[in-house]
Amino acid sequence: MQATAEIERNDAPAAAPSRSWTRAWADIRNGIAQRELWGHLGWQDIKQRYRRSVIGPLWITLSMAITAAGLGFLYSQLFHIPVETFLPYLTVGFIVWGFILGCLTEGADTFITNEGLIKHLPAPITVYALRTVWRLTLMLAHNLVVYVVVLAVFWSHLTQRYILSPPETPNPEWHHGLGWDALLAIPGIALIALNGLWVVILFGIISTRYRDIPQVISALTQLLFFMTPIVWTTDILRSRVGGGDGGWRELVAELNPLYHYIQIVRAPLLGNNMNWHNWVVVLGLTIVGWSLAFLAMRNYRARVSYWV
Partner 1 sequence: MVSIDVWNASVDFPIFDAKSRSMKKALLSKAGGKIGTDSKVPIIEALRDITLSLKEGDRVGLVGHNGAGKSTLLRLLSGIYEPTRGQAEIRGKVAPVFDLGVGMDQEISGYENILIRGLFLGMSRKQMQKRVDDIAEFTELGNYLSMPLRTYSTGMRVRLALGVVTSIDPEILLLDEGIGAVDAAFLDKARDRLFDLVQRSGLLVFASHSDDLLLELCSSAIWMDKGEIRQQGSLRDVLTSYKGKDPFESVSHETLQRLGHEPAAANSQDKA
Q: Which of residues 178-197 bind partner 1 (CB under 8 A)?
A: none
Helices (DSSP H) in the chain: which residue ranges? 6-9, 21-33, 35-49, 58-79, 83-108, 110-113, 115-120, 126-153, 155-158, 185-209, 213-227, 234-241, 248-249, 257-270, 276-300, 304-307
Q: Is 307 in the site for partner 1 (CB under 8 A)?
A: yes
Q: Is 245 in the site for partner 1 (CB under 8 A)?
A: no
Q: Is 5 in the site for partner 1 (CB under 8 A)?
A: yes
What is the closest distance, in whole angstroms, from the C-beta atom of residue 190 to partner 1 in the complex? 25
Q: Is 113 in the site for partner 1 (CB under 8 A)?
A: no
Read off the amino acid at residue 244: G
Nearer to partner 1, 37 or 149 (CB): 37
Q: Is 306 in the site for partner 1 (CB under 8 A)?
A: yes
Nearer to partner 1, 35 or 176 (CB): 35
Separation between Cα atoms, residue 271 and residue 274, nearest integer Å: 8
DSSP character at residue 183: G
At residue 175, what are phi and psi to the nearest 5 degrees?
-85, 145
Separation between Cα atoms, residue 224 and residue 125, nearest integer Å: 29
Member of 118, 140, 164, 178 binding partner 1 (CB under 8 A): 118
Q: Is 4 in the site for partner 1 (CB under 8 A)?
A: yes
Q: Is 112 in the site for partner 1 (CB under 8 A)?
A: no
At residue 254, what are phi and psi to the nearest 5 degrees?
-65, -35
Separation between Cα atoms, residue 198 and residue 250, nearest integer Å: 27
Member of 20, 29, 40, 53 binding partner 1 (CB under 8 A): 40
Nearer to partner 1, 18 or 291 (CB): 18
The footprint of partner 1 (CB under 8 A) covers: 1-5, 8-9, 11, 13-15, 17-18, 34, 36-37, 40-41, 44, 48, 51, 116-123, 209, 211, 302, 305-307
